[in-house]
């Protein structure tokens, strides 16, 4: 008969951390969340570390070039989604690597023949009120003018007016040539009391903008993650089908780290992909693999050459792999077992391979638990899908704003490569759903709040960094009754009491 585990597998919600001694130095401001992204030998430093233990999932609804830049500003890494053409993904990587803090390539562009209705639709879609007017409506077309909210009044216009009739024309704009430094650009902005400064090529084409609101952005992001050339660190997903063509294109575009995107990593297909990378690039290309849920899976990918290993099957909020196939494991149990095997492998070989907990995060405190259980960092989908910086649409549902969020195994994404078992090149059945998540606004404020909770909890435990958390945390299983006890109970919440009177 099949091998049957005696103990049930558990989720993060079934555990709590036990407080430890907190000394006078154990305050959130002193907590470091720096963590390795790729493997390293004992006594050496990893080639890439992150300043926060957060990566964004390899998903269409989560990780594009905008997310890559935004998350790198916070100190983490985004893995740009792979379920697109090689050329499109490489272009996203190149745009993210070419991004210069403070210099913003316009994502809101129209031609002079477009109408006010087009302006309003674009502003609604992007959330940006400054729109560049170029001769062809493209980001790098010849600049003809700019439209902002000061240029039109919806109540006095029909919506059919052409942009050319109400835009601020080029001759009335303050511009600067390409090559202007960020300091010089900011001086121009302040001297002329303007909100946006276009930088223009010699032939008149638009290069980028410098915005007044971004003046202090570098001060707001002290943990930003940069490579040796002061560019943002960018990740990209790959699959086990076209890796021989996709990986060279991504490396050429500047990707710093890759990740095999698959629902199940204990496979010959992943071993072949990793072996090809090592044969072709040696250790110069960093690539993670997964997903696995036990020690055997970890050992397999470690010996195949993975730089980090993802843990988790079926625990994502939009994943229905467990429902469809009966495959998976409770995320907490999976992380604990794989972390034990990781530590055992480190003792045997002197090579430390970071593990990434992928899925199962419902509440912010689950992140701290995952780290305490042995995860070096987290991969998050739903969490990041809620923010302005994700590529999905913001829509109004029942009077509340939502963001669209769909799984890579859904009919919408049809990312069959992620579920590839070596058969026909198609998605035979769904392993993900198409859904909405509550809109949460800007990433920066939300990530800051989440990480303040993590740092505060670590101080309660009595530790100041992730390795110490993994070494010294005490964790307890909780009963169903104690889970109820942990929330508000035996009281009438004010909002419920007020609602009951209506």
Q: What tokens were used for 413? A: 């994404």
CA distances from 68 to 57, 74, 110, 146 (A): 11, 10, 25, 27
* Known active-site residue 459: no
Q: Of 319, 356, 386, 455, which residue is the catalytic one?
A: 319
* Known active-site residue 319: yes
Q: Are 303 and 289 in contact (CB under 8 A)?
A: no
Closest CA to 12 of 359, 449, 446: 359
Q: What tokens were used for 295? A: 């020690």
Strands (E), 102-151: 109-110, 131-134, 143-147
- Chain-centroid distance, C-alpha 128: 21
Closest CA to 339 of 471, 453, 459, 475: 471
| CB-based burial, 222-250: b 16+ in 10 Å, e otherwise | ebbbeeeeebbbbbbbbbbbebeebbebb
- Number of alpha carbons in the 13 Å side-chain half-sphere of residue 2: 3
Q: Are 430 and 411 in contact (CB under 8 A)?
A: yes
Q: Are 337 and 295 in contact (CB under 8 A)?
A: yes
Strands (E), 214-332: 235-238, 257-260, 287-292, 309-311
Contact partners, residue 10, CB within 8 Å, separation at least 6: 330, 332, 333, 477
Name the maximum alpha-carbon separation found in the chain: 81
- Chain-centroid distance, C-alpha 421: 27
Mapped onto helix, strand or coil, the DSSP state of residue 63 is coil
Distance, CA of 338 to CA of 349 (rounded, Å): 16
Q: Of 95, 329, 418, 455, which residue is the catalytic one?
A: 418
Residue 30 has phi, psi (to 5 degrees) of -95, -5
> What is the residue whose two structure tokens read 């435990």?
461
Whole-angstrom distance between the N-terminal and C-terminal Cα of the chain?
60
Give the helix/strand (H/E) hosting 287. Answer: strand 287-292
CB atoms within 10 A of CB 34: 14
Q: What tokens were used for 283? A: 């250790």
Residues assigned a catalytic role: 319, 418
């Amino acid at each position: 008969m099949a091998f049957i585990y005696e103990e049930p597998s558990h989720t993060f919600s079934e555990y709590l951390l036990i407080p430890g001694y907190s000394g006078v130095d154990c305050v959130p401001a002193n907590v470091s969340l720096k963590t390795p992204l790729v493997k390293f030998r004992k006594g050496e430093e990893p080639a890439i570390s992150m300043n926060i233990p957060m990566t964004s999932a390899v998903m269409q609804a989560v990780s594009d070039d905008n997310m890559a830049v935004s998350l790198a500003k916070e100190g983490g890494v985004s893995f740009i989604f792979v379920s697109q053409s090689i050329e499109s993904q490489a272009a996203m990587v190149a745009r993210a690597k070419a991004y210069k803090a403070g210099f913003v390539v316009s994502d809101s562009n129209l031609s002079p023949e477009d109408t006010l209705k087009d302006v309003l639709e674009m502003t609604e879609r992007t959330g940006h009120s400054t729109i560049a007017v170029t001769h062809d409506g493209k980001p790098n077309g010849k600049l003809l003018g700019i439209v902002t909210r000061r240029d039109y009044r919806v109540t006095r216009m029909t919506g059919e007016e052409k942009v050319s009739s109400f835009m601020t024309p080029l001759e009335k704009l303050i511009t600067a040539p390409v090559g202007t430094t960020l300091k010089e650009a900011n001086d121009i902005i302040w001297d002329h009391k303007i909100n946006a400064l276009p930088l223009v090529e010699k032939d008149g084409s638009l290069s980028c903008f410098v915005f007044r609101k971004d003046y202090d952005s570098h001060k707001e992001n002290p943990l930003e993650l940069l490579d040796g050339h002061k560019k943002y660190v960018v990740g990209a997903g790959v699959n086990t089908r076209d890796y021989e063509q996709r990986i060279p294109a991504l490396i050429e575009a500047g990707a710093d780290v890759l990740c095999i995107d698959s629902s199940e990593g204990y496979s010959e297909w992943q071993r072949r992909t990793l072996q090809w990378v090592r044969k072709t690039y040696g250790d110069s290309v960093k690539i993670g693999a997964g997903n696995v849920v036990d020690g055997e899976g970890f050992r397999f990918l470690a010996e195949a050459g993975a730089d980090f290993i993802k843990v988790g099957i079926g625990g994502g909020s939009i994943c229905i792999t467990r429902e469809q196939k009966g495959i998976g494991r409770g995320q907490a149990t999976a992380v604990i077992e794989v972390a034990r095997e990781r530590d055992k492998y480190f003792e045997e070989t002197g090579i430390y391979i970071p593990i990434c907990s992928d899925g199962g995060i419902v509440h912010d405190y689950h992140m701290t638990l995952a780290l305490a259980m042995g995860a070096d960092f987290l991969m998050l989908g739903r969490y990041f899908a809620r923010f302005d910086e994700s590529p999905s649409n913001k829509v109004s549902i029942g009077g509340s704003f939502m963001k669209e969020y769909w799984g890579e195994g859904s009919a919408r994404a049809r990312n069959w490569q992620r579920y590839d078992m070596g058969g026909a090149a198609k998605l035979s059945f769904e392993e993900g759903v198409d859904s909405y998540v509550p809109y949460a606004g800007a990433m920066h404020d939300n990530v800051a709040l989440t990480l303040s909770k993590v740092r505060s909890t670590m101080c309660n435990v009595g530790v100041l960094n992730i390795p110490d958390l993994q070494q010294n945390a005490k964790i307890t299983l909780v009963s169903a009754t104690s889970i109820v006890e942990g929330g508000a109970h035996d009281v009438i919440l004010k909002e419920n009491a007020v609602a009951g009177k209506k």
